[in-house]
Structure 1
Amino acid sequence: PDTTDAPPARGGPIPTYPAAERAVKALAEAVRYGQWRRANAEGGQVPEYEDIDEAGAAHLLAGLLADVAPASVATLDEADGRELLGRYGIRVLPVLPAPTPDAAARAARILGYPVALKTTAPHLRHRADLGGVRLDLTTEAELRRSYEELTDSLGKPAELLPVVQAMVPRGVDTVVRSVIDPAGGAVLTFGLAGVASELLGDTAHRLVPATDRDAAALIRSIRTAPLLFGWRGSDPVDTRALEELLLRLSRLVDDHPEVVGVSLEPVVVATEGLSVLSATVRVAHPPARTDLGPRTLPSY
């Protein structure tokens, strides 16, 4: 029949694909997009924490930046970085310097056994595989023996910069970071410590300010996430504590644009609670911004 004057069919043209595999892939992408839309439609919340001291952090940052040139970035020393993070409820486990075996023994008595003996030299930092970290030292004799082995094999104390730190419950070692991206603003990054993030690049990212939904999705986005949830019979770790840490760091960098970089590594997440063993905080005078609020894509 002649259909020249027939009304056009409703909707657009039917898509066609040269192979069934491509059609299946396109359909999968459409499903994922639909899931993303539904998840974002429900939104999330940026939680409030009563113990956050925003004014105290602002006062501390003003003093720390007083001697920093306008175009410079300063790395805070350990004490200042720990104090700033503490204003937002992020506790970094203290370390005590151990320039001599006697100093290491005194530090261990202050912290209480068992302790860890670690080097903090830049080329050995976080390199347990090179023998720069000795764990579960329960007596002074073990500590002194490990100190001697460390300096005999890796170098003099002045080169190694050894420290003593209290042991924490075992768990999964993770990395939590925040940096300023020139295009997107402040970004949270999460991954497992070691090979997973450093060699394989298995990390996930979210824009700041992060919501509770963002934090939950962030730790589940990496390929190695099953290690957090009881992979092959292991005990699941405290992901709620991990999500709270991410949210507190998000609040810190969102409230204070002077904080241009934070690296918490490692963060040991145990079955109950977590321990931040080391932190690096970088600060700078914030550049002038004409845009306000988080940088997000428009919704249509």
Structure 2
Amino acid sequence: SPAGGPAPDPQSRAGVPTAAGASIPSYPAAERAVKAVAEAVRYGQWRRALADDDGRVPEYEDIDETGAAAQLAALLADVDAGAALTLTDWHARELLARYGIRVLPTLPAPSADAAARAAAVLGYPVALKTTAPHLRHRADLGGVRLDLTNEAELRRSYEELTDALGKPAELLPVVQAMVPRGVDTVVRSVIDPAAGAVLSFGLAGVASELLGDTAHRLVPATDRDAAGLIRSIRTAPLLFGWRGSDPVDTPALEDLLLRLSRLVDDHPEVIDVRLEPVVVAAEGVSVLSATVRVAHAPARGDLGPRTLPSY
């Protein structure tokens, strides 16, 4: 032991005392020591990158901040303080479009004839989907039929859907135009009581939900934040050509994230936005569904900066 110091406890995990009064970390296994060193290296890399480049919040000339403010004021005119309003699909699409976020339109299909008329308007190929809350985003239950190329296929799928899952009034089916295939993702922004507005990203699907494979950044997000966000999830290789697949349009995805960040930062009345799925193809992104909740903006007493480690 150091001169004049107590003998270290060989069973102690707190560390070995030194003459200076500090301690040397000790670990019960080499694997834990290696993991600790790796985390320290990652933290150091993050600190250096943060010091070198904080990134920038881009400016957009095509957003309609004034129009969005007027729309939100009108929507919240009859909403009590403390209450939240879930926007209709039409109002959600209109609000998001003001910030350059286009949500693919859907047409209701309460009957097979209505589905055929909707497909004629949108153009084949189309997708037939249920929008009932208990089936929403549950393609594994058979509530989504894709690549229907003509009216005969559409009517047959409609009959199969209603026979298997229930009546049209229960399923709330819609018809939507097909988009280029790609990787299904989820983009979300929500107000966290402690941190404020948070931007989140992950891949769509059960596997990501079970693993909790979602990354987060604070709003307003910089271009550096957006790039790091999509690369920090464990399933990120699927976006960059994993096992010979085509890499997707990550710049378009980053642009979508930055536009949503700008919307939420400009308008604190927007308390929750969920874009799911967002299909990221080799060229471009397609937002197939959007849920938006709004409320009167709460008063903020803390106006200081917040930080969220992104390493």
- State how far apart, in whole Å, the 2-side matches of 1:148 and 1:293 are: 57
User: Is 1:15 the equivalent of 2:24?
Assistant: yes
Contact in 1 for aligned 2:89/2:291 (Cα 8 Å): yes
Q: Which residue of 2 aligns with 1:122?
A: 133
Partner of 2:96: 85
Answering whether residue 220 of structure 2 is matched by residue 209 of structure 1, we say yes
Give the distance between the partners of 2:113 and 2:146, measured in 1 at CA: 18
**1:96 alignment counterpart:** 107
Whether 1:27 and 2:53 are equivalent positions in the alignment is: no
Secondary structure (helix, strand or coil) at the match of 1:260 reads strand
1:237 aligns with 2:285: no
How far residue 286 of structure 1 moved from its aligned partner, in angstroms, is 1.1
Superposed CA offset, 1:187-232 (max 9, x none):
0111100113322211111111110111111111111110000000
Structure 1, unpaired ranges of 5+: 5-10
Question: Alignment partner of 1:199: what SS?
Answer: helix
| TM-score of the two chains, using structure 2 as the length reference | 0.89
Q: Give the RMSD, CA atoms, in angstroms.
A: 2.0
Gapped regions of structure 2 (runs ≥ 5): 5-19
Partner SS, residue 121 of structure 2: helix
The secondary structure found in structure 2 opposite 1:187 is strand
Q: Quote the residue 1:252 is aligned against.
A: 263
SS of match in other structure, 1:261: strand
2:147 — aligned with what? Answer: 136
Q: TM-score, normalised by structure 1?
A: 0.93
Classify the secondary structure of the residue corresponding to 1:46: coil
Q: Percent identity?
A: 83
Conservation of the 8 A alpha-carbon contact between 1:117 and 1:133: yes
Q: In the alignment, is residue 76 of structure 1 matched against residue 87 of structure 2?
A: yes
Give the aligned residue type for 2:148: L
Q: Secondary structure at the match of 1:268?
A: strand
Between the aligned partners of 1:28 and 1:12, the Cα distance in structure 2 is: 26
Match of 1:153 among 164, 168, 173: 164
Alpha-carbon distance in 2 for matches of 1:104, 1:146: 11
2:121 alignment counterpart: 110
Q: Secondary structure at the match of 2:246?
A: coil
Q: Relative to structure 2, which stretch is displaced further, 272-281 or 197-206? A: 197-206
Shift of 1:49: 1.2
Native 8 Å contact 2:201 2:229 kept in 1: yes
CA distance in 2, matches of 1:98, 1:27: 58
